[in-house]
């Protein structure tokens, strides 16, 4: 319960930070399937992704849908080097783990050479074969 309360306080603080900040680091993706981001199920659509806060050891990201698709605050679980193929190709990416018709956001890389990729906690995916879906992110100014 203490961990949940701490997470909620961090998320609330991040929302306050995000509300007043328009960042040039916003990335946009067209996600063609329903997916889980953190504890939320998000419909297919256009989403903006941006760094909400990096004041703690775990960066917080804001995933915000266009129109009324909702939003989610995501806590990065681990930093790691981006895949060699991603680094060679360049360009920001979102990666989703999919199984049994369900997908969940697994990883984000902002496309900056030398920058880390961020991995997110996945829900239980069951015993179905898991495949990965990679969606490119486009750079753009925040609204």
Examine the pLDDT at 15 and tell me if it is beyond 60.
no
pLDDT digits (tens, 9 = 90+) for 46-77: 999 988 876 667 789 999 998 767 899 999 99
The backbone torsions φ and ψ at residue 132, rounded to the nearest 5 degrees and listed phi first, read -105, 140
Q: Is residue 3 very low, low, confident or very high in pLDDT (cuts 50, 70, 90)?
A: low
Instruction: List the structure tokens of 82.
Output: 């981006």
**Rounded to whole angstroms, how far apart are CA atoms 86 and 61?**
20
Task: Residue 108: give the domain boundaries.
Answer: 2-139
What pLDDT does 19 receive?
38
What pLDDT does 48 receive?
94
pLDDT digits (tens, 9 = 90+) for 117-138: 999 999 887 777 889 999 999 9
Number of domains in the chain: 1
**Rounded to whole angstroms, how far apart are CA atoms 74 and 91?**
21
Count CB atoms within 10 A of the CB of residue 108: 26
- The structure's pTM equals 0.78
**Rounded to whole angstroms, how far apart are CA atoms 103 and 97?**
5
**Rounded to whole angstroms, how far apart are CA atoms 138 and 126?**
32
């Amino acid at each position: 319960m203490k961990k949940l309360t701490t997470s909620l306080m961090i998320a609330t603080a991040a929302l306050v930070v995000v509300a007043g900040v328009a960042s040039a680091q916003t990335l946009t993706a067209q996600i063609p399937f329903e997916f889980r981001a953190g504890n939320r199920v998000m419909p297919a659509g256009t989403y903006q992704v941006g760094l909400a806060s990096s004041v703690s050891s775990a960066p917080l990201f804001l995933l915000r849908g266009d129109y009324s698709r909702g939003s989610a605050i995501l806590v990065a679980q681990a930093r790691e080097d981006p895949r060699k193929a991603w680094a060679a190709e360049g360009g920001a990416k979102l990666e989703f783990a999919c199984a049994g018709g369900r997908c969940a956001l697994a990883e984000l890389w902002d496309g900056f050479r030398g920058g880390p990729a961020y991995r997110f906690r996945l829900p239980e995916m069951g015993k179905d074969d898991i495949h990965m879906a990679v969606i490119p992110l486009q750079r753009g100014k925040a609204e």
